[in-house]
Amino acid sequence: MNKVVIIGGGISGLASAYFLSNKLEPGNITVVESSDRFGGTILDTSFGERRVETGPDSFITRIPSALELIDELGLSDHLISPATSSAYIYSRSKLHPIPAGTVFGAPSHFQRFLGNSLVSRSGQFRAALELIMGRAKIEGDTTVGSFCTKRWGREVTENLIDPLVGGIHAGNVYQLSLAECAPQYVDAARASRSVSQGLKHQMANYTSSGKPAFYSLNGGLSDLVDALAGVLKQRGVVLTTSCASSEILPQSSGYRITTQDGELDADGVICATPAHITASLMRPVSAKASELLATVDYASPIMTLLAYPDSAFPEPLHGSGVLIPRANRTLSTAITFASNKWPGWKTEGETILRVSAGRFGDTRVWDFSDEALVANLETEMAAILGTRTGSIRSEVFKWHKRIPQFKPFHAQLIQQIRENIPSSVELAGAPYIGVGIPACISSGAQAADRLYASLSSPR
């Protein structure tokens, strides 16, 4: 009987175990997690009278893997969608509605886009020139920023596309891969002479499923983690927390995983850990793969929860939040009006903000104590939202090296890594096919399928 050890108990590792337990004897599957809980960045906390997310607060529905897993776990009746989706961008010391007529930040419908308050008239005119430019030449890979600056100009790129596309990755569009981080632009460029027109056609041809763009669970996303872990335990999968793994040692038959609690023997291994940790684990297996994994950079964002009295705001907040372009040089990169977006988090008389701070290349937030960070963020909230008092409650959550940076030719890098490891060792997680809960679940499912095929093939 094949034994499998899965290192890492975030959503990717748990998904790997779930899909593998559909194929192998569950009792021969072990998940080892270094921290004292499962779920990785999926984490909520008691904040006043409510449970509030400190990592992702929702997942996209365009990729179906999360919805499919939730249905299998019997949680579909617990799905909820944001109460509001309208948002603002902070620029020139003002809040501006995200311009209409855009797709993923890029202008697509100029009759609706022109006249917006965010982009200057000259910037709008420059963006409109995209309609008469020649077909975009896409050879190999380039950065999102380089491509968008050529098509729509620097102002649109830095004030609109960077806070949207770059914000998802806590990165810089001038360093992020176009193919990996904005494939919609690539598809539009290949479909039409004008990328804007191609994006417009994409939206026109999009058949809505009737589902919201984003979902969460009414008890929080930790309910997904708990349900998944519960099913795995019921099936007989061995789940271990507070057990760090240090290396994977090849043996004459299989592998020996060294952990702080002892050694585990396995015929196959799935590493569902951040790339820099996987690099260390993999060194005895493949020095080349380890070297390549270590080149994957990560952003280290900090999420701060701030509770304000409703009276602190000059007027009630509208919409779901604010995106903040890099040019503002603020510590905060985005503000979610959490109790607007999720009314279940609302306590009478209080407004909860989730403030994201720090991005790749800007680590100033890590130089502050929690108290100093909160004080600085409160000063920024006064400038951006006009708050008249400080917060009445706060909590800081630091996510060190949690969001991988997809640089140009990232897919080729991952392919090279895979070519340098044996088929009985698999990789799962955000660095491989994308960030976000659905992508991580898909990555876990793919890793399980590939490992099962490897273990089932004649040797």
Which of 205, 239, 267 terminates a domain? The answer is 205
Q: Which helix (H) or strand (E) holds 215?
A: strand 214-217
Shared-domain flag, residues 427 and 287: yes
Residue 188 lies in a domain: yes
pTM of the model: 0.94
Tell me if 89 is assigned to some domain.
Answer: no
CATH number at residue 251: 3.50.50.60
Angstrom CA distances, 183 to 58, 142, 387, 406, 455, stand at: 21, 12, 38, 12, 34
Token pair, residue 188, equals 């539009």
Query: Mapping DSSP to helix (H, G, I), strand (E, B) and coil, where does residue 219 land?
Result: coil
Residues 306 and 263 occupy one common structural domain: no
Q: What per-residue string of b and e applies to 393-405 under the rule 16 or more CB within 10 Å gives b?
A: ebbbbbbeebbbb
Of the chain, the percentage scoring pLDDT greater than 90 comes to 92
Q: What's the number of domains the chain is made of?
A: 3
Per the prediction, the chain carries an average pLDDT of: 94
211 assigned to some structural domain: no
Per-residue DSSP letter, 140 = S
DSSP 3-state assignment of 179?
Answer: helix
pLDDT at site 204: 66
In the chain, helix, strand, coil percent, each to 5? 40, 25, 35
In a shared domain, residues 243 and 319: no
Same structural domain, 144 and 201: yes
Q: Report the pLDDT value the prediction gives residue 210, as an integer from 0 to 100.
A: 66
Distances (CA, A) of 151 to 147, 180, 279, 427: 6, 18, 38, 36
| 355 occurs within a structural domain | yes
Could you list the beta-strand ranges (E) of 278-437: 298-299, 302-309, 321-323, 332-337, 350-357, 393-398, 403-404, 425-427
Mean pLDDT of 145-174: 96
Residues 327 and 282 in one domain: no
Same domain, 332 and 391: yes
Q: In this predicted model, what pLDDT tens digit does every residue of 420-451 receive, in sequence order? A: 999 999 999 999 999 999 999 999 999 999 99
Q: Which pLDDT value is given to residue 372? A: 98
Model confidence at 259, in pLDDT bands (50, 70, 90)? very high
Residues 283, 420: one domain?
A: yes
- Based on the domain organization, do 347 and 443 belong to the same domain? no
Query: Domain holding 181: CATH number?
Result: 1.10.3110.10
- Alpha-carbon distance of 76 to 379, in angstroms, equals 41
Q: What is the pLDDT of residue 213?
A: 87
Task: Tell me, yes or no, whether 59 lies in a domain.
Answer: no
**Domain with 266 in it:** 4-40+220-297+405-456
**Do residue 382 and residue 345 come from a single domain?**
yes
Bridge pairing between strands 302-309 and 393-398: antiparallel
Q: Which pLDDT value is given to residue 109?
A: 92
| H or E stretch at 430 | helix 430-433
Output the six-digit token pair for 307. 């509770």
Among residues 398, 414, 435, the one where a domain terminates is 398
The reply to whether 9 and 35 lie within a common domain is yes
Q: Which of 153, 179, 205 is the last residue of a domain?
A: 205
Statement to judge: residues 194 and 257 lie in one domain: no
Question: What size, in residues, is the chain?
Answer: 459
Rounded average pLDDT over 164-188: 95
- On whether residue 17 sits in a domain, the answer given is yes
71 domain-assigned: no
What CATH number should be reported for the domain holding residue 350? 3.90.660.20
Q: Is the pLDDT of residue 207 over 90?
A: no
Q: Does residue 201 share a domain with residue 103?
A: yes
Residue 429 inside a domain? The answer is: yes
